Structure 1
């Protein structure tokens, strides 16, 4: 299996939250905590929006909470405070968070060939710190947060490393991951959540966790 993956793929791009690290619910609860004063109905709406819109930068997500759920104008200074509060609450928790099953084994087996990358919606410097503190940095050619968008970062990596899109797979759990892969004609493997749900079109190849990734990549 290992040799076949090396022959088939030049690179595999990973999202981080919900793909390598089991941190989606943790972040959803952190968002909800920021709105504790708004009451449980608003908090439930925040959790649902977060669950259905993974892969979105946190500032954009908070702005949408304000506008779409609470129906109020976005106050940029308030947004700055909320982004800072979210970052302070979540970074150490993500560093300590459990992995998605199979992540360590896959990275240990395949680091270096094919080339592995992280592209996350987490702010770039924070993503670098998290990868370093989790002991993951040396498994990847490079680690990237936002901005820019996932599609822009993936396009940059393809150009920089001379990768063929038909030999690159994107592994993600969010619509934004699927959209980036589709825009660049990359292969895509979706990761389902703990309840078996995913936001992708019918027929999308999905896996429960990274223990199934080698088999999924061999099928593409």
Structure 2
């Protein structure tokens, strides 16, 4: 049971928690791999929706190694990741995608908690999107992939000397729950009613 009175530090996932971006990112993966068989792409999209907390780099690698069954080099992964960025970054920078419930909470409580973002999204894209949406001002730090979220959260705890029992991760996927569990911090599962995901 979470004792909210003990919480001083909040780490937010981004996609599906702060930004209603899951649908756009799903479309982008479909576009990215449109030259591949439809049934293979569908399998990737199912994996993507079930694993919201992991990065595009991991999903691209998974597609080739576990669905297409061929090796892919780090250079090829980076090439696909850059194409994916072009397909998503501009669309995601539209303020209409901000989830009002979360944003209202952040604005109201920014002086009550130490707030951070740890996301599976590409860090450079994440920083640019947050700047364009004027979200950066609310967070002490913003972190993303290719570093895995497990490590991102661990680094936030260590670099800020946060106590585990005083820290909570707010996410919308099983992966986020596992990250919180691995780092021995509290977890709150966010339900975005516009997205069929973990908290459905």
Q: TM-score, normalised by structure 2?
A: 0.89
- Cα distance between partner residues in 2 of 1:80 and 1:159: 29
Mapping of residues 68-217 of structure 1, within 5 Å:
68-96=66-94, 98-194=97-193, 198-199=197-198
How many aligned positions are there? 197
Q: Give the distance between the partners of 2:75 and 2:148, measured in 1 at CA.
A: 23
User: Which residue is equivalent to 1:215?
Assistant: none
Structure 1 residue matching 2:100: 3-state secondary structure: coil
Per-residue CA deviations over 1:92-151 (Å, capped at 9, x if unaligned) read 111115122302211110112211110011222221111111110111111111232222
What is the CA distance between 1:175 and its match in structure 2? 2.4
CA spacing shift, 1:29–1:152, aligned 2, 3 Å: same
Once residues 119 and 143 of structure 2 are traced to their aligned partners in structure 1, the CA distance between those partners, rounded to angstroms, is: 6
SS at match of 2:15: coil
- 1:177-201 deviation per Cα after TM superposition (whole angstroms, max 9, x unaligned): 11111012111011235377554xx
Tell whether the 8 Å contact from 2:53 to 2:119 is kept in structure 1 after alignment. Answer: yes
1:33–1:43 contact (8 Å) kept in structure 2: no
Runs of 4+ in 1 over 3 A off after TM superposition: 75-78, 192-199
User: What is the alpha-carbon distance in structure 1 between the residues aligned to residue 50 and residue 123 of structure 2?
Assistant: 22
Taking structure 1 as the reference length, what is the TM-score of the superposition? 0.81
1:2-17 → structure 2 map (5 Å cutoff):
7-17=5-15
* Structure 2 unmatched ranges of 5 or more: none
User: In the alignment, is the contact (CA less than 8 A) between 2:120 and 2:144 conserved in 1?
Assistant: yes
